[in-house]
Amino acid sequence: MKKTTIITIYILLTNFMFGQSLNHLDVKNGFKHFKFGSSPKQIKDIEKVTNQFSQNSDVVEYYYTGKEINYISDVKIYRIQLSFYKNKLFSILISFGDFDDDFDGIEYNSILYSLERLYGKNWNNPTNKDGKIINGAIWCGKVVNLELFRIDYSKSKTKPYDYGFISGYMSIENKDISKQLILEEF
């Protein structure tokens, strides 16, 4: 009886800890001082992207140009891109590695370790049908998703690029605002 009770308590505590970690992702609701739902006017040191990826006129992308955020877990940030839908921040993309400096496995693991300490080890593996993902972890909160990927585009089965370097990114997205965007498009 004692053994069953101890096992039950352990399972409940483990589930509670993972749930609380993912709940913390939702409560944080962004990254550093970038909070989802903010307008571009509320965020300093950003510059509008001239050739943005999205063709939706309600989506506007900006690069962070400030000097306050340069590293995550001692890993140099290449670029921070903020995407707004109808003037509400809904996506933060933090890029690692460039043509002069790959995003290596040690750097990936350093960030992964920090994220696991914050949000738990209850992350999902990404699908890798195209073969370009070297490492990846996805945390799915109720409101916020966070992805950490390390990618070699030259390994792509469908569109291999001869970049000659390995890059990576951390993507943080508000699911509610993203869903509004998707619903508008369909």
Q: What is the pLDDT along the chain (186 residues), one digit of tens a residue?
A: 555 444 444 444 444 444 457 888 888 889 999 999 999 999 999 999 987 777 788 899 999 999 999 999 999 999 999 999 999 999 999 999 887 788 999 999 999 999 999 999 989 999 988 888 999 999 999 999 999 999 988 887 777 777 677 899 999 999 988 888 888 777
The pairing of strands 167-174 and 144-151 is antiparallel
Report the chain's C-alpha Rg in angstroms.
Answer: 18
Query: DSSP for 52-66?
Result: -S---TTEEEEEE--
The CA distance from 41 to 6, in Å, is: 53
Determine the pLDDT at residue 107. 96
Determine the pLDDT at residue 131. 84
Determine the pLDDT at residue 3. 53
With 0-12 / 13-18 / 19 or more C-beta atoms within 10 angstroms meaning exposed / middle / buried, residue 140 is middle
Determine the pLDDT at residue 79. 96
Determine the pLDDT at residue 8. 43
Determine the pLDDT at residue 13. 41
